[in-house]
Amino acid sequence: MHPGTAKYNHSLAPPEREICELLAREIDRGLPEAENKIWHAHPVWCLEGNPVVGYDKLKACVRLLFWSGQSFHEAGLAPEGSCRAAEARYTSASQVHAGDLARWLANARDIQWDYENLVRRKGKPVRLK
Residue 83 has what pLDDT?
75
CATH T-level topology, domain 3-110: Aspartate Aminotransferase, domain 1 (3.90.1150)
Query: Over its length of 129 residues, how does the chain's per-residue pLDDT go in tens digits?
Result: 899 999 999 999 999 999 999 999 999 999 999 999 999 999 999 998 889 999 999 999 999 999 999 999 999 999 998 678 999 999 999 999 999 999 999 999 999 877 676 667 666 676 666
Summarize the chain as % helix, strand, coil (round to 5).
Answer: 35, 25, 40
What's the rounded Cα separation, in Å, for the pair 47 and 32? 10
Distance, in Å, from the CA atom of 112 to the CA atom of 129, rounded to the nearest integer, reads: 5
3-state secondary structure of 45: strand
pTM for the structure as a whole? 0.90
Domain ranges of the chain: 3-110
